[in-house]
Amino acid sequence: MQPDYTHYHTHLDIKFKHLEKIDIPQMVKEYTHKWFNQTLTQVNDSVVRVGIVEGEYHWHKHDNDDEFFFVLEGQLLIDLEDQTIELNPGQGVTITKGVMHRPRAPKKAVMLMVETSAIQPTGD
């Protein structure tokens, strides 16, 4: 069964140019969606994204891309097939390409993600 993507607000456009200041707290104030993802900037072949999230994402994997999550506020749980990784502010983890995972946030959380610019956020 195909996941319902309608409650995800994913913006792949690059919001900030190089040398332009990025203000995450201001973005957190502005965006009220339960699952919001915005590409902030591009760094060589990778992008940095902010996620302002609450609730569950769907199970998925990225066949060709690793994905790095770093929590700024709240708590992010990343379910794997055999364990759950708990991330609190100041903590991060890299999910290896090909690994099934499901990010979820019991309460509102703010995170940064670093991944290749070619990644499909909803999975392969």
Q: Which domain holds residue 55?
A: 8-116
CATH code of 13's domain: 2.60.120.10
What average pLDDT score do residues 9-34 get? 93
Q: Where do we find the tokens 């190089």?
A: 18
What are the tens digits of pLDDT across the range 53-91?
A: 999 999 999 999 999 999 999 999 999 999 999 999 999
Provide the domain count of the chain.
1
How far apart, in whole angstroms, are the C-alpha atoms of residue 115 and residue 43? 10
**pLDDT surpasses 60 at 1:** no
121 within domain boundaries: no
What pTM did the predictor assign? 0.91
65 within domain boundaries: yes
